[in-house]
Copies of this chain bind each other. A is one copy, B any other.
Amino acid sequence: MSRIEELVKLLSRLPGIGSKSASRIAYHLIAGDEAYNKALGESICQIKERIHFCPTCGAYAEDDECEYCSDPRRDQSLLCVVEQPQDVVTIASSGSYQGLFHVLGGAIDPMEGIGPEQLSLAQLKHRVEEGSFKEVVIATNPTEEGDTTALYIRQLLKPYGLSLTRLASGLPIGGDLEYADRLTLARSIRGRVSF
């Protein structure tokens, strides 16, 4: 296999990149700027070493704690529970949420063998017990698994007497949080309803 074929094959394993797109990208890289190729290549090589999970909330972090947990200006009385680390970035960049985060690491999915014990629910309970949260916003995906997980969290946190909310509809049902546009997401954060 030639170097070009090898690169095309590697590129076509990326999500959303077919073999034609992979070829186009490979030729673009061959014809393009060497400094850019080095920057991109090194960034891809190093990204897993440079990024780890925040020990407090489970979001992506470059330092010990993530930028949200270590920022005292964020609202310490508000906690947003999401499925995946990238959901933290999506919600933070909507500009409509100023609280803290908690990443579950997935959603309850019995078909895939993912039960509550595979998610960071014990840590969530612990944070609610130790912290000073007044409201927990459940921002799991609007899918069957996300809804099941939201119901489970409602049961789990009910004894603590804090306000439990869920992102408002406006998110397309069956969709994925990662793909929501910012306006839709901002509206569903502002219009979150008691759960």
Contacts and interface: CB of A to CB of B under 8 A. Distances in A.
Interface of A: 2-4, 6-7, 10-11, 13-17, 20-21, 23-30, 32, 34, 36-48, 50-51, 60, 62, 67, 84-86, 89, 178-179
A130 B23 CA distance: 34
A179 B2 CA distance: 21
A36 B25 CA distance: 17
A40 B10 contact: yes
Contacts of A44: 7, 29, 37, 40-41, 44
Contacts of A3: 43, 46-47, 50-51, 62
Contacts of A10: 36, 39-40, 43
Q: Which of A2, A25, A34, A44 has the most CB of B within 10 A?
A: A44
A2 B62 contact: yes
A26 B85 CA distance: 12
Contact of A51 (B4, B38, B45): B4
Given A3-B62, A14-B25, A60-B4, A37 B47 contact: yes
A87 B54 CA distance: 48
